[in-house]
Amino acid sequence: MLNKGIFITFEGPEGAGKTTVIAEIYKRLEQEGKKAILTREPGGIRISEKIRGIIHDNEHQEMDGMTEALLYAAARRQHLVEKVVPAMKEGQIVLCDRFIDSSLAYQGYARGLGMEEVMTINSFAIGDTMPDLTIFFDITPEEGLRRISNSGEREQNRLDNETLQFHEKVYEGYQLLLKKFPDRIVSTDASKPLSEVTENVWKIISSQLINK
């Protein structure tokens, strides 16, 4: 796929602060006159938001793990072809809340489907499109889940409601990914106050933009 823009993804456990920080980063990029889009997975466009609703519905407790992985990959495919790739072709900066690493950590590692196997499913969906940069928001699952339940801003979905043990596995999965992709994934301490996390993420992204 033609790749002129910059594809930046944001990863981490539940409640790590990704959505809050990305919104501020997007604002700053706009203020600097950079062309950027802010999007998320699963979702970002009509069809993928509908798939998101199916995956996250608390009534869908019977959903098979592989079905879950395939649905995330399907949502990813549509989102890529309809939104991410066109923006990249226009040379835009794409800020995406979660991408392939979520599938590897949640479905591959925590669900136990296998990271290699989940990568294989996803290769069919994304081809060779990988992020230029991934920022991992490092926070313990306990602290992230506490933030979400304290905020009361959003309803907890089927994945949020998984056991603490599941979320600890997700965290372990991310640690493996950090080791596997040291050139692509940069970690930031997300337990710090919001202003500090935002500044650190802004520094990481700014240095990436300078190097482009």
Ligand X SMILES: Nc1ncnc2c1ncn2[C@@H]1O[C@H](COP(=O)(O)OP(=O)(O)OP(=O)(O)O)[C@@H](O)[C@H]1O
Ligand Y SMILES: Cc1cn([C@H]2C[C@H](O)[C@@H](COP(=O)(O)O)O2)c(=O)[nH]c1=O
Residue numbers belonging to the annotated binding site for ATP: 12-19
The partner in contact with residue 193, picked from ligand X, ligand Y, none with C-beta cut-offs of 5 to 8 angstroms by kind, is ligand X
Binding site for ligand X (CB under 6 A): 12, 14-20, 147-148, 151, 153, 193-194, 197
Task: Give 90's DSSP letter.
Answer: T
Give the residue from 4, 2, 24, 39 showing the smallest Cα distance to 212: 4
From 37-45, 130-138, 171-179, 190-198, span contacting ligand Y (CB under 6 A): 37-45
Tell the residue number behind the tokens 């106050």, with chain if given: 193
Provide the mask over 44-83, with x wherever binding to ligand Y is found by CB under 6 A and - wherever it is not: ----------------------------x-----------
3-state secondary structure of 38: strand
Q: CB 94 → ligand X: shortest distance, Å? A: 17
Task: Rule CB under 6 A: say whether 131 interacts with ligand Y.
Answer: no
Which residues are known binding-site members? 12-19
Task: Rule CB under 6 A: say whether 159 interacts with ligand Y.
Answer: yes
Q: What is the DSSP string of 149-184?
A: HHH--S---TTTTS-HHHHHHHHHHHHHHHHH-TTT
Tell the residue number behind the tokens 């933030």, with chain if given: 147
